[in-house]
């Protein structure tokens, strides 16, 4: 079947490719409707690697997806043909030590869509374990279903932060993940979430949400705003969601004594780390890698209406325009947050 294939760094093609579609006893076959363009997909396109994950052979892109069940395995009883679903893209080894500890996101054996050498789902059909496939409520669209995956990262970050009701949070970076982290922090009980960026366009999108306060760091240092707004105390929790090495300069000026710093963005190069400042404030440092045991809760929040991700969808492309969608994403338009590709008319 036809798929969007990353042939090598910087080269995409929309072509026929053989993909496995055999439905096992615990699997479902899904007709793909919508796929989001993720920053990691774009990074493989532009750089050919993310850390230890290196593109060595052609790979189908796409891992933020929703679609319709068209076939079920003999042992599947939680889904039926015709169900609208979204899919958690990582398949762990459920017998691994990491999975038994509930940390299947860091299972070394996990098979994650569009992570070399595993194919993604920018193709008409895929087969996936029913255990990692979630039925969409009637009021959740395919487009929103394809947003559950990135929102789950925000949920993982909020969970790792151990938020308390009334906390003040600061988010560095107003890209798709940064805004979703901010929304998850609000849903987790934060009274206010300050979010910083260099892009006025992205900050304007973030500012649509009550409780999210944009800060343009071209105009005022983020640390000064946080100090002013917290009477010099600092944010209870700071989320680094930009992945920029510059974000680590003076990062501990943002957080209060005894607060938490949650690292979400993935820098592409080593960063300086001020250990003395972290120790002097006894800052708790947490890290986030994907998510675990949180996909269904992310979907519940979206379905409840407490989290509206629709304003973040800033461009939709037909499947035939997939290459153009990736070229636009790689161009980094300031007004773009989340681009999506529709495989069904």
pLDDT tens digit sequence for 15-39 = 999 999 999 999 999 999 999 999 9
pLDDT tens digit sequence for 131-144 = 999 999 999 999 99
What's the whole-number mean pLDDT along residues 299-305? 97
pLDDT (0 to 100) of residue 341: 98
What's the whole-number mean pLDDT along residues 75-103? 96
What's the whole-number mean pLDDT along residues 65-71? 98
pLDDT (0 to 100) of residue 270: 87
- For the cut 90, the answer to whether the pLDDT of residue 51 exceeds it is no
CATH number for domain 154-287, candidates 3.30.450.20, 3.40.50.720, 3.40.50.2300, 3.10.20.440: 3.40.50.720
pLDDT (0 to 100) of residue 198: 95
Instruction: Look at residues 250, 237, 240 and name the one whose alpha carbon lies nearest to residue 178.
Output: 240
Q: Where does the pLDDT of residue 344 fall: very low under 50, low under 70, confident under 90, or very high at 90 and above?
A: confident
**DSSP class of 189:** T
What's the whole-number mean pLDDT along residues 60-85? 98
Note whether 223 and 253 are within 8 A (CB): yes
pLDDT (0 to 100) of residue 20: 93
pLDDT (0 to 100) of residue 278: 96
2-147+309-342: CATH class = alpha beta
What's the whole-number mean pLDDT along residues 137-160? 98
Mean pLDDT, rounded, of the chain: 96
pLDDT (0 to 100) of residue 227: 98
Q: Where does the pLDDT of residue 267 fall: very low under 50, low under 70, confident under 90, or very high at 90 and above?
A: confident
CA distance 150 to 135: 17
pLDDT tens digit sequence for 180-202 = 999 999 999 999 999 999 999 99
CATH 3.40.50.720 occupies which residues in the chain? 154-287
- For the cut 80, the answer to whether the pLDDT of residue 345 exceeds it is no
CA distance 39 to 52: 17
Instruction: Work out the percent of the chain whose per-residue pLDDT is above 90.
Output: 95
Query: Comparing 51 with 73, which gets the higher pLDDT?
Result: 73
- For the cut 90, the answer to whether the pLDDT of residue 52 exceeds it is no
pTM of the model: 0.95
Structure tokens at 19: 């993909």
Q: Where does the pLDDT of residue 115 fall: very low under 50, low under 70, confident under 90, or very high at 90 and above?
A: very high
CATH 3.90.180.10 occupies which residues in the chain? 2-147+309-342
pLDDT (0 to 100) of residue 269: 82
Q: Where are the beta strands (DSSP E) in the chain?
A: 2-8, 11-16, 27-36, 49-50, 53-54, 59-60, 64-72, 84-87, 90-91, 111-112, 125-129, 133-135, 168-172, 192-197, 212-216, 235-240, 255-263, 284-287, 313-318, 338-342
């Amino acid at each position: 079947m036809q798929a969007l294939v990353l042939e090598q760094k910087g080269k995409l093609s929309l072509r026929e490719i053989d993909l496995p579609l055999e439905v096992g006893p615990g699997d479902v076959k899904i007709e793909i409707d919508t796929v989001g363009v993720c920053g990691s997909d774009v990074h493989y396109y532009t750089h050919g690697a993310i850390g230890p994950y290196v593109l060595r052979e052609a790979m189908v892109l796409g891992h933020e997806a929703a679609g319709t069940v068209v076939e079920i395995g003999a042992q599947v009883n939680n889904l039926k043909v015709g169900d609208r679903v979204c899919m958690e893209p990582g398949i762990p080894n459920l017998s691994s030590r990491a999975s038994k500890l509930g940390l299947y996101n860091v299972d070394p054996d996990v098979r994650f869509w569009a992570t070399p050498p595993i194919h993604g789902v920018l193709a008409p059909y895929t087969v996936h374990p029913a255990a990692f496939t979630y039925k969409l409520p009637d009021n959740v669209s395919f487009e929103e279903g394809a947003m559950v995956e990135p929102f789950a990262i925000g949920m993982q970050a909020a969970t790792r932060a151990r938020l308390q009701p009334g906390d003040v949070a600061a988010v560095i970076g107003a890209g798709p993940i940064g805004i979703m982290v901010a929304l998850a922090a609000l849903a987790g009980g934060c009274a206010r979430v300050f979010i910083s960026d260099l892009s006025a366009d992205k900050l304007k999108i973030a500012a649509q949400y009550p409780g999210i306060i944009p800060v343009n760091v071209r105009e005022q240092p983020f640390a000064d705003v946080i100090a002013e707004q917290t009477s010099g105390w600092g944010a209870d929790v700071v989320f680094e969601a930009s992945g920029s090495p510059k974000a680590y300069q003076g990062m501990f000026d943002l957080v209060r004594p005894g607060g938490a710093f949650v690292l979400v963005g993935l820098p592409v190069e080593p960063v300086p780390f001020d250990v003395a400042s972290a120790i002097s404030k006894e800052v708790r440092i947490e890290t986030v890698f994907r998510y675990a045991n949180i996909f269904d809760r992310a979907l519940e929040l979206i379905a409840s209406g407490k989290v509206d991700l629709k304003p973040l969808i800033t461009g939709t492309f037909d499947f035939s325009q997939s290459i153009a969608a990736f070229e636009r994403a790689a161009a980094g338009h300031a007004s773009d947050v989340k681009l999506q590709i529709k495989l069904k008319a």
